[in-house]
Structure 1
Amino acid sequence: MDFDFSSEQAQLKESVERFVAASYGSLENREAMRKLPGGFDNRIWEGYAELGLLGMPFAEEDGGFGGGPVETMIAMEAIGRNLALEPYLSTGVLAATAIRLGADAAQKEQLIPAIAEGTLRISLAWQEPQARYDLANITTTARPQGDAYILNGRKDLVLNGDTAGMLILSARTAGKPCEPDGITLFLVPADAQGVMISGYGSQDGGRLADVVLNDVVAQPLGPVGGGHAILERVIEAGIAAVAAEAVGSMEALHALTVDYLKTRKQFGVAISTFQTLQHKAVDMLLMLEQARSMAYYATMMVEAEDAEERRAALSAVKVQINRSARFIGQTAVQLHGGIGMTMEYIGAHHFKRLAVIETQFGDTAFHLARVTKAGGLIATT
């Protein structure tokens, strides 16, 4: 199997990595941008649009650039390597996947050009306080009223929800809580009457929001009652994206650690000469390469037609990504000593982002249970 990038993908990789690295450059720059309104620099977001990253997920006939999972992997790895703060995951992956799979022609015509130009950011609101990782555990209600629906309920931990111009929300139009049937996705302007958004910072330097809906008028995105299948595909795309982001972050953290071992001295010699620490660094590299192979696997499987096969594959990816993220993060802190947990050191911020990724879209126990229920990835005889 050929894992080499095409010439266009190689050019994209070079352009994105150069742009993101130049936009950040240092921890001081990142911290200054994190303190801006919304938690990121809008000029960098405009740069994403100029590079074509925001139109990349959409088909050319819909006004996009016809990119796919490989192009998303390339962008997310650069984002992870540089701890970028822009809401690319929320708009360019999650919302873009929901629109690509669920929106009708009129909605695509309205939304895609604005997203591609960088003038519209959209956040996906699916998590509720009682649901944990169960996509079907939805108590937000939607009752029909004329040609529209009236939404009531609450969504928590909405990624970049406080800077979004539009929300994509899951709500129940039929059925009981925890039933996949009867879930519908809705488009809701962030400034719609009855929408209350409360933003706050996350542990990794990003932004989250809680959203309360009181008699909000909304239009469906996709078929009424068919939202669960779309939502599952969206979360799978999110898993593939954060897998690539984690690889970029782990690669950067491993490089920082090796460099520290070469410069830190004890007893008059660099501690990189100590065999035990060399073995630790090699163990980090092995876990990084295992994660990289699973990120490639996620890219291959995220568009697979067989839903059960795809579901098991993405859960297996998340299990390995979580394990690698924890091992590399903890080992890096151990090898750095006290500086590894100092907020003035970029390595500590990689550690925090990897810790958040470990629980994003499902923790290790949740996805391991799904892989076990599916009978693993290799059929037994």
Structure 2
Amino acid sequence: MSSEYDFPIAGRAKVGARTKDLTKRVEPGDIVVIDHEDIDRVAAEALVDRHPGAVLNAAPSISGRYPNAGPKILVDAGIPVFDVLDQDLFDTVREGRFVEIDENGLSLSTGERLEAELYSREVLEEKLEKAREGLSEQLEAFASNTMEYMLRERELLINGVGTPEVHTRFQGRPVLIVVRGYHYREDLATLVPFIRENRPVIIGVDGGADAVLDAGYRLDMIIGDMDSVSDRALKSGAEIVVHAYRDGRAPGMERIRELGLADDAVTFPASGTSEDIAMLLADDRGADVIVAVGTHGTLEEFLDKGRAGMSSTFLTRLRVGSKLVDAKGVSRLYRQRISTIQLVFLVVAGLLALAVALSVTDGGQALIQILGARLDDALRFFTALFTQGGPIP
């Protein structure tokens, strides 16, 4: 038996092909069943927040394309990760079914059993080491996709052709773009003074709109394909821009119609990602600075998005680079090093040191006597107020 986990682990299955949608339904102790090749950091952190009993993956959690951080985040949080690749996991494990897991696989209440590969720390490190060897191929694919995207979207990138007309005023104003991504909570908390003093245009990208509302701010605009934003955010009064395919198809508009919001919504056809078109729209409409929260900017984050999304983000950042301020890591840079209680102890210690210094000097002793006399006079005055004779003359 593995020494890393306390097997067997039992729980009810929560099943979903899209991890970001499934996490909303997960309760502590549930057995999560996903189909997520190369579990990324954002998905892993969302799962950790829900405290599942285990994660069963119908796809390779580390495929070897690149060293994705998701499985390590789950393992470090004490959540066992299994790849179940040889059987049809989704046909066998249905929503709500009772599952019992040991280090070699899982058993169902129906008597069926599926073999699985546990990501022990040894297995995890071995797979990550092999994945690091595949980075060169990913960089070659990145270069190729960048050229393709640049040729396909050159008019949008260079001249802003294709950006929709919107009601929100951007000209000369700061813009805050929020994506529910890396460190978005910490960075939003750190930006409180900036938001309060500058009152920026606030754009939520899909689920980032809910992050804005959860932080207590008002949304000006929502941009995305509308697959992970709540009805609450869509009905908040923010202007809606639906990300459409390059040929004009906009599946997200159907949801907007169902909510009765289509009359005031517009589409933005582009082959990039939703966070990319949010930056391009803000830049084209004259924003003087663009502050990005939770967006993708590092090699790991580009790879987490998949090769189709890497090139658009890279080129978009080149396009708006003179205005772009990435809030990622700001919270870590300015993290408070001294706690409030430590400050209180420091002040008390300083006052005690001052009192000791005064007590051993002639001038200090005289000052203490004067202060004592004044305090005695004040006490006598207030005592006399509550006596029949009134204050002492």
Report the TM-score when normalising by structure 2: 0.24
Higher relative contact order (Cα pairs below 8 Å, separated by 6+ residues): 1
Larger Rg: 2
- Which structure carries more helix by proportion? 1
